[in-house]
C-alpha cells in the first residue's frame, strides 16, 4: 500500500494556475504573454525549430500551451516528491511479554572464596556466579537486562539492554575487588531502584551477595523501605558454603545477612534463596527463570519505505531533457 507522508504538498499543484490567472499579462513581440521567463524562451525556441512548442493560433491564445503542459508535468513530479510517497507493509505484531530485570552482583573480595565446585574441581564463588548468571541471561531472550556490580561502591555496568552478548562480556570480565573490599548492599539496591524507577513494564531486581551490609551511605533498612515504596519485586540470593574449614581459612568477614535479605524479599513480594553450591545457584536461577511474563498491550509496527526519489529523479531527468532541447534550439 502506498501513502503520502505530506499530502498537503499537493496544494502546490495549484500554484502555476494561480500564477497564470493572477499575474498581469505583458506586451511583447509576440503579443500578450505571462510574465514567466521560461515560457517566452520556449516560444522563441518553437519559432526556430517548429517543434512541439509551435506558435499558437490567435484562436488558442486563451488556452494552455503545450510548453506549459510539459513544464507543468515537471512541476507535478516535484509536488509528488514533496508529498513524500511511501510504501507501507503489512502490520507486524510486537511481542510485549518481557520484563526489565536488573542484576545486582556482589564482587567484594570475599567472592574469591573457593568453596564452590564445577566439573569436579574447586572454583571461587565469583566464577560460579559468572557461569550461572551468564546462562540465565542467555535464556531471557525477550527481556531487557541491566547489570550493577558492587563492593565498597556500586556501579552501573550495563543499563537495561537486549544486547545479551555485551552483557555477558561484562560478566565474564568482572573481577573481585574491582569495586572495593567491603559490601554496600543498600547503595547497590538504591542504584537498581533508580534505574528501574521510570520504566513502565514489569520490573524485577535479582540481588546476590555473600556478606552483610557493612559500608555505604544507605543502611539496608533504608534501602528496604525505598524498595517497598517503589513496589519493585526483589529476589535475593545469599551465597557461600557453610563449611567450617573454608570459614577458618578465610580472612574476610563471615556470614550472609539472611535476616535483612529475607525482609527485603518479603517487603517487595519477592523471595529469598540460599545457595551453598554451584548446583544450588543453578536451581535458584532456573526457578527465577520460570517467572510468568507480563502480558501487555499489543503493539504493531509497519515497515515503511520512502520512494520520493522516484518522482524526484523523473522530474530532474525531464527537466534536463527540456533544457537540452532548449539549448540546441537556440
Sequential pLDDT tens for the chain (330 residues) = 888 989 999 999 998 888 878 877 655 544 454 455 555 555 555 555 554 444 444 444 444 467 778 888 999 999 999 999 998 887 766 555 678 999 999 999 989 999 898 888 999 999 999 999 999 999 888 889 999 999 999 999 999 998 999 999 999 999 999 998 889 999 999 999 999 998 887 899 999 998 888 888 888 899 999 999 999 999 999 998 765 444 444 444 455 778 899 999 999 999 999 998 999 999 999 988 886 554 545 566 777 889 999 999 999 999 888 888 777 765
CATH class of residue range 99-289 = alpha beta
H or E element that contains 189: helix 185-196
Apex 233 CA angle, 207 and 163, nearest 5: 65
Contact 96, 299 (CB under 8 A): yes
Contact 149, 177 (CB under 8 A): no
Name the residue among 221, 208, 227 with its Cα closest to residue 148. Answer: 208
- pTM of this prediction exceeds 0.75: no
Q: Is the dihedral of CA 117, 121, 126, 130 positive or negative?
A: negative
Which residue is listed with cell 533544457?
A: 323
Report domain extents, the chain: 2-89+302-329, 99-289
Amino acid at each position: 500500500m502506498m501513502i503520502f507522508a505530506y499530502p498537503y504538498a499537493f496544494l502546490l499543484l495549484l500554484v502555476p494556475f494561480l500564477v497564470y490567472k493572477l499575474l498581469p499579462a505583458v506586451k511583447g513581440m509576440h503579443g500578450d504573454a505571462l510574465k514567466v521567463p521560461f515560457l517566452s524562451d520556449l516560444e522563441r525556441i518553437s519559432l526556430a525549430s517548429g517543434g512541439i512548442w509551435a506558435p499558437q493560433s490567435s484562436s488558442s491564445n486563451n488556452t494552455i500551451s503545450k510548453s506549459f503542459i510539459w513544464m507543468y508535468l515537471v512541476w507535478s513530479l516535484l509536488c509528488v516528491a514533496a508529498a513524500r510517497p511511501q510504501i507501507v507493509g503489512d502490520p507486524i505484531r510486537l511481542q510485549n511479554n518481557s520484563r526489565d530485570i536488573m542484576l545486582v552482583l556482589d564482587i567484594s573480595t570475599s567472592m574469591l572464596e573457593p568453596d564452590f565446585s564445577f566439573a569436579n574441581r574447586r572454583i571461587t564463588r565469583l566464577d560460579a556466579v559468572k557461569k550461572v548468571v551468564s546462562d540465565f541471561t542467555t535464556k531471557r531472550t525477550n527481556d531487557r537486562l541491566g547489570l550493577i556490580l558492587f563492593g565498597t561502591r556500586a556501579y552501573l555496568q550495563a543499563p537495561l539492554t537486549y544486547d545479551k552478548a555485551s552483557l555477558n562480556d561484562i560478566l565474564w570480565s568482572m573481577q573481585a575487588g574491582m569495586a572495593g573490599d567491603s559490601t554496600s548492599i543498600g547503595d547497590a539496591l538504591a542504584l537498581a531502584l533508580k534505574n528501574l524507577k521510570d520504566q513502565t513494564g514489569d520490573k524485577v531486581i535479582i540481588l546476590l551477595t555473600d556478606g552483610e551490609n557493612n559500608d555505604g551511605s544507605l543502611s539496608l533498612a533504608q534501602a528496604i523501605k525505598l524498595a517497598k515504596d517503589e513496589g519493585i519485586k526483589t529476589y535475593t540470593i545469599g551465597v557461600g558454603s557453610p563449611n567450617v574449614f573454608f570459614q577458618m581459612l578465610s580472612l574476610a568477614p563471615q556470614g550472609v545477612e539472611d535476616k535483612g535479605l529475607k525482609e527485603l524479599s518479603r517487603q517487595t513480594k519477592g523471595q529469598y534463596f540460599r545457595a551453598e553450591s554451584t548446583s544450588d545457584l543453578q536451581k535458584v536461577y532456573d526457578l527465577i527463570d520460570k517467572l510468568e511474563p507480563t502480558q501487555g498491550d499489543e503493539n504493531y509496527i509497519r515497515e515503511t519505505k520512502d520512494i520520493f526519489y522516484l518522482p524526484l529523479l523523473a522530474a530532474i531527468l525531464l527537466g534536463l531533457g527540456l533544457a537540452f532541447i532548449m539549448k540546441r534550439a537556440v
